[in-house]
Chains A and B, each alone.
Chain A
Amino acid sequence: MSLNGLRIWYCENMFLFLWSIIPTNWNESTKSYHLNLRNRSVSVDLTMKKTLKNIWNLYYDGFKNMTWGRPLWLLIFLKVIILFLVLRMFFFKPVLSGKNEAEKIEYVGEQLSRTINNNQ
Chain B
Amino acid sequence: MDEMTLVDWSRLQFALTAGYHWIFVPLTLGLAVIMATMETLYVVKRDEFWKQTAKFWMKLFGINFAVGIATGIILEFEFGTNWSNYSWFVGDIFGAPLAIEGIFAFFMEATFFAIMYFGWNKVSKKTHLVATWLTGIGAAISAVWILVANSWMQHPVGMEFNPDTVRHEMVDFWALVLNPVAISKFFHSVFSGWMTGAIFVIGLSSWYLLKKRETRFALASIRVAAVVGVVGTVALMASGDSSGIHVAKYQPMKLAAAEGLQDGGPQAPFSIVPGVEVPGMLSMLATHDFNGYVPGINDMLNGYTDAEGNVHLSAEQKMERGKTALKAFNDYRALRDTDPVKAEQARKVLDENVEYFGYGYIDSPQELVPNVDLVYWAFRVMVGLGSFLLLLMVVVLWAEWKKKLEGMTWLQWVALLSIPLVYLAGQAGWIVAEVGRQPWVIEGLLPVKAAVSSVSVAAVQTTFWLFVAIFTLFLVIEIRIMINAIKQGPKISNK
Contacts and interface: CB of A to CB of B under 8 A. Distances in A.
B407 interface: no
If over half of B's interface residues share one DSSP class (helix, strand or loop), that class is named, otherwise mixed; here it is helix
A68 to B, nearest CB: 6
Q: How large is the interface on A (under 10, 10 to 19, 20 to 34, 35 or more residues)?
A: 35 or more
19 contacts: A3-B96, A10-B103, A57-B122, A62-B114, A68-B59, A75-B66, A75-B481, A76-B69, A83-B73, A92-B77, A93-B81, A95-B84, A95-B453, A95-B455, A96-B80, A108-B84, A112-B329, A115-B450, A116-B330
Contacts of B449: 115
A80 B118 contact: no
A57 B470 CA distance: 36
Given A80-B70, A112-B329, 6 more contacts: A3-B96, A58-B122, A83-B70, A83-B74, A112-B166, A120-B323
Contacts of A10: 103
B454 to A, nearest CB: 7
Interface string B349-364: 0000000000011010
Contact of B62 (A58, A69, A80, A112): A69
10 tightest CB-CB pairs across the interface, nearest first? A62-B118, A94-B80, A95-B84, A72-B66, A92-B77, A108-B88, A92-B81, A115-B450, A109-B166, A116-B326
Contacts of B312: none
B454 A111 contact: yes
B78 A3 contact: no
A63 to B, nearest CB: 8
A92 B463 contact: yes
B66 A91 contact: no
B81 A94 contact: yes
B333 interface: yes
Interface string A85-101: 00110011111110000
B118 A61 contact: yes
B481 A72 contact: yes
B352 to A, nearest CB: 18
How would you classify the secondary structure of chain A's contact residues: helix, strand, loop or mixed?
Answer: helix
A104 interface: yes
Nearest to A115: B450
Interface string A56-84: 01110111000011011101100110110
B477 A96 contact: no
A6 interface: yes
Contacts, number: 122
B95 interface: yes
B354 to A, nearest CB: 13
Interface residues of B, number: 58
Interface in A32-68: 54, 57-59, 61-63, 68
A75 B479 CA distance: 13
A116 B88 contact: no
B99 interface: yes
A108 B452 CA distance: 11
A105 to B, nearest CB: 5
B165 interface: yes
Given A83-B70, A108-B89, A92 B78 contact: yes
A93 B453 CA distance: 12
B234 interface: no
B483 interface: no
A113 interface: yes
A111 B83 CA distance: 12
Nearest to B71: A79
B391 interface: no
Interface in B154-207: 164-167
B81 A58 contact: no
Contacts of B80: 92, 94-97
A119 interface: yes
Contacts of A109: 166, 333
B67 interface: yes
